[in-house]
A and B are shown apart, each in its own frame.
Chain A
């Protein structure tokens, strides 16, 4: 009957979103009068989930699951849900969780509500608020099935500490070879840089930067802030920056605490994609740029002057405040 939460890890360490989904699961369990069970895969520090309200961890250690495999992971989670008799399963909005959630939904005949931004509005029926129309609106979605899956948006519910002790139990799901027909052969991932999905701060550049050779100052600003870099659609379409950096309606959504847009005019599609960011700063020469209407703070000015000044100022600020 417990609420089951899939807590993602990487190289043995829980990701930030693991604590966020655990916190969310605790809130759901509270509303339902039950407890939280987490399932982790090859994670080392399972006890740490206790601080976010998890009272039991089903710990899977399996070399076959070293590399993420959506189908195999979904099968492991499904078996954990059956074992626990869980009626609600919580997952994150990471690319991996969005890959496995539909597989899990089909296996368990479960309704799946993705991109959920707040605690359930009611548990009978289970109703959640989620973003829709690419952040141009919200839907209040009722999940009608016996088993229900909630995908929690990044950085929307936040982490909440709850004092529980997590009892760790070894769990060995049975995984047939048929689960491994989709094979990872190579992973190409930047090491040591912050990803857009995990970033607290995102620094993004647009066509106003005039060419890929001018991205050095964007990267410097991002480095000072410990931020991820991103770009607008035209910039990725022209090949100035890789596709993975394109944020907006057809690119990646951004839900950071701070989003700094440099030389981006603010097309409606771009604004939709970044609207979940909490604080938006716009730097643009054109005071009529639509982005100013969607921003919290703005500087009307030439990025080539303002951005290096801002980087310098932030360096001073960091030196004083560290």
Chain B
């Protein structure tokens, strides 16, 4: 089985978000970048398929050279090879079109992406990619088993979960649950050393549509001070008369 894990290079979850150039760009100043958490759950699940079922695991990212440290981390965790599409990821449709070409060229049986990236929150790359290539698609996937050509997945639904059966080739939009938080791996020294020797192929982008443009950004309005109360009578009263939520 040949697996491609699609990885987005995103600001660490603890980052404070600022915008630059007249609020038209995300301000990367002082920001630490990591593998998108939803993708990392997928990558870790892919490592399981590699170790238990002999799968080959490649990772792909659409981005400029600055994303390579994040890709090296994925290689240090255990991916076999990496592919970087040399382009600024302008929107989800663009990224999906680029990755579709990578999938076509590489002949992957299983593609795992995150349900969404935690920066632009598009949540569309796996679904568009699957549809462009006419592959089966399961989103918000919290469990995945593959046996031969058959896949059994569990997907999170509002208020519960749904068990799904389908076949390869398959695209999955993954999240926590694919593996547990405690299963995530921190690259060890040997992994980091080995990652330096692994192939990181750079390919040029294909022509793509310009579907959306984030023209301007804005930060949420600052929050007023909290009103502290010292008993539940006052709280219930305020929630009823002032906040009008009960």
Contact = CB atoms under 8 A, between A and B. Distances in A.
Q: Do A and B associate with each other?
A: yes
B236 A317 contact: yes
Contacts of A268: 13-14, 16
Interface stretch (B51-59, B71-79, B103-111, B218-226): B218-226
B102 interface: no
Nearest to A312: B232
A192 to B, nearest CB: 10
B204 interface: no
Contacts of A319: none
A107 B118 CA distance: 25
B71 to A, nearest CB: 21
- Give the residue among B157, B159, B166, B177 with the most A Cβ atoms within 10 A: B159
Interface stretch (B1-9, B62-70, B121-129, B189-197): B121-129
Interface in A289-305: 292-301
A106 B127 contact: yes
Chain B interface size, under 10 / 10 to 19 / 20 to 34 / 35 or more: 35 or more
Interface in A184-233: 184-190, 193, 195-198, 200-201, 225, 233
A71 B126 CA distance: 13
Given A132-B120, A310-B235, A296 B227 contact: yes
Contact of B227 (A102, A141, A298): A298
Interface residues of A, number: 94
Interface string B72-109: 00000000000000000001110010000000000000
A186 B162 contact: yes
A313 B229 contact: no
A98 to B, nearest CB: 6
Given A95-B140, A105-B128, A269-B13, A137 B245 contact: no
B163 A105 contact: no
A236 B211 CA distance: 37
A131 B127 contact: no
A181 interface: yes
B220 to A, nearest CB: 7
A167 B177 CA distance: 44
B121 A134 contact: yes
Interface string A264-301: 00011100000100110110000000001111111111
Given A98-B123, A99-B127, A137-B218, A112 B245 contact: no
B212 A111 contact: yes
Contacts of B216: 139-140
Contacts of A197: 158-159
Contacts of B218: 129, 137-140
B167 to A, nearest CB: 7
A249 B13 contact: yes
A84 interface: no
Given A140-B216, A297-B243, A182 B38 contact: no
Nearest to A10: B158
B33 interface: no
A142 B140 CA distance: 26
B116 to A, nearest CB: 8
B93 A299 contact: no
Nearest to A69: B164
B126 A297 contact: no
Contacts of B220: 135-138, 275
A109 interface: yes
B232 A182 contact: no
Nearest to B132: A106
A57 to B, nearest CB: 23
Given A111-B91, A201-B245, A281-B239, A144 B161 contact: no
B124 A102 contact: yes
A306 B232 CA distance: 7
Contacts of A26: none
B186 interface: no
Contacts of A172: none
B120 A139 contact: yes
12 contacts: A95-B140, A99-B127, A105-B211, A134-B119, A138-B220, A183-B166, A188-B161, A195-B159, A196-B158, A258-B246, A278-B245, A313-B235
Given A114-B123, A306-B232, 5 more contacts: A95-B157, A102-B127, A132-B214, A243-B176, A279-B245
Interface of A: 70-71, 74, 94-96, 98-103, 105-107, 109-115, 127, 129-145, 181-190, 193, 195-198, 200-201, 225, 233, 236-237, 243-244, 246, 249-251, 257-258, 267-269, 275, 278-279, 281-282, 292-301, 306, 309-310, 313-314, 317, 321
